[in-house]
Amino acid sequence: MTYQCHDTKEKIMEVARVLFSDHGFEGTSVRDIAKAADVNVASVNYHFSNKENLLTEIMRSGYEECSHTVKSIYERNNSLEETLVELFQYFTERSHNLVSMFKIKLSTQHSHHFVAEGSKDQLLGPPGGVVIAAAIRNELGPDVTEEDVVWALRCLFTHVVHQSLMYNCCMKQGTSFQFTDTDIEKSIRRLTRIVLQDLRKK
Amino acid sequence: MTYQCHDTKEKIMEVARVLFSDHGFEGTSVRDIAKAADVNVASVNYHFSNKENLLTEIMRSGYEECSHTVKSIYERNNSLEETLVELFQYFTERSHNLVSMFKIKLSTQHSHHFVAEGSKDQLLGPPGGVVIAAAIRNELGPDVTEEDVVWALRCLFTHVVHQSLMYNCCMKQGTSFQFTDTDIEKSIRRLTRIVLQDLRKK
DNA sequence: GTCTATAAATAGATAGAC
DNA sequence: GTCTATCTATTTATAGAC
């Protein structure tokens, strides 16, 4: 079993993302990860130097994956409403990516993962936020104010992210959740329409 | 220093809520709590039997405090919009209560704290959700459908909770946050108005 | 690159004196 | 109710054989 670096490293990251999402960073031991990934305990430190660095790589790849997904979704359908609905579907398929990123964002200890490398003081916005903002501008034409775009972005992104978190966590917990994915899709569409409608009135 | 049970127990809960909120349940040791509360290590187990039970008591009191706050806010001002804005202000004053509750909700391991004691399968809704739903019905009169009330509740509560989480976490992290509390208040008011407006049209 | 063995620190919990 | 001391288990990380 020599020369399987790439497979092992990626397997560790994928398994760790799931475990961090379910039990948190501190709630997951390197041994748990190695066992679940079916690799040796020492290989985690070999490939990532230490546990903290494993988190760093997971966060970076997760943020990039999400940004890239939003971009490619919008380039395909060219519609704000459809993009938001498909973003919810992506968050459901890759719920561990969303949940682990969000938990880290809420943590004091690991929040530095959301600070861009070059400019240490600049907080990263939501992944794909630039694309959604552009989509809003495209729907409303050139007369829309920047303040309105920011407000709409915040309303809509918040809604999609929070509904995705609630939907996927309650599903995982096995408790009877009141809302189906169809309900949430309807909710996203309705909110998108009334937000755009309000911005057009001005 | 004898007979100070009540003080010690409450001090432990208050300190633990802050630490759980910042570093998570697993990221906080019983020793950390005892040190921050300036009590002996053994007193945590004396008053709460074990660490898990300390979390149980924190969650229960946090949920009740929040529900009670929402109720008393609405009884005082009798306005949906004002209640949501004041709820955001409460979430800011007591951000550790919100953050710790939300983190636990996202966790697979500790999600059982959101299951009501009597009926083990029933998931608890958002704290104060019943009051907000009643406020929505009061604004719209008796003709409003239950589906619309549920949608409005979800939109508005989601917005307030998520904005509060983002606002308080980014503040705590010391990074330059783009939005002031005034911005978020405006955002809540604007969303409340367009949601109610949409429901009235039907 | 993978493995075993182990170091060094820390975790939750408890026993027993006061 | 508070405290010290301690047991047992588990943690991250590393050293060194293969």
Q: Where are the alpha helices (DSSP H) in B123-145?
A: 129-140
- Nearest alpha carbon to residue A72 among A158, A131, A127: A131
Cβ of residue A78 lies below 7 Å from strand C: no
pLDDT of A193 strictly over 90: yes
CA distance A82 to A85: 5
Residue % of chain B over a pLDDT of 70: 92
A176 CA to chain B: closest CA distance, Å? 7
What pLDDT sits at residue B3? Answer: 58
Reply yes or no on domain A60-201 having CATH 1.10.357.
yes
Q: Which phi and psi (to 5°) does residue B176 adopt? A: -70, 110
**Amino acid found at B84:** L
**Tokens 């379910």 map to which residue?**
A22
Residue A140 tokens read as 């409303």
B122: DSSP letter? P
Q: Which nucleotide is nearest to A47 (CA to C1')?
A: C1
Do residue A26 and residue B27 have CB atoms under 8 angstroms apart?
Answer: yes
Give the tens place of pLDDT for each residue, B131-145.
999 999 999 999 999
**Coil vs helix vs strand at A36:** helix
The reply to whether A192 Cβ lies less than 7 angstroms from strand C is: no
What pTM, to 2 d.p., does this model score? Answer: 0.96
Residues of chain B with CATH 1.10.10.60: 1-49
- Residue B5 in tokens: 């049970």
Type of residue found at A138: N
Distance (Å) from the alpha carbon of A69 to chain B's nearest alpha carbon: 22
CA dihedral A166, A171, A175, A177 (to 10 degrees): 60
Looking at residues B7-17, what average pLDDT do you find?
97
Nearest to A68 by CA among A127, A118, A136, A152: A127
The CATH number, out of the four listed (3.40.640.10, 3.40.50.1000, 1.10.10.60, 3.60.21.10), of the domain defined by the range A1-49:
1.10.10.60
Strand C contacts in A 7-46 (CB under 7 A): 8, 39-43, 46
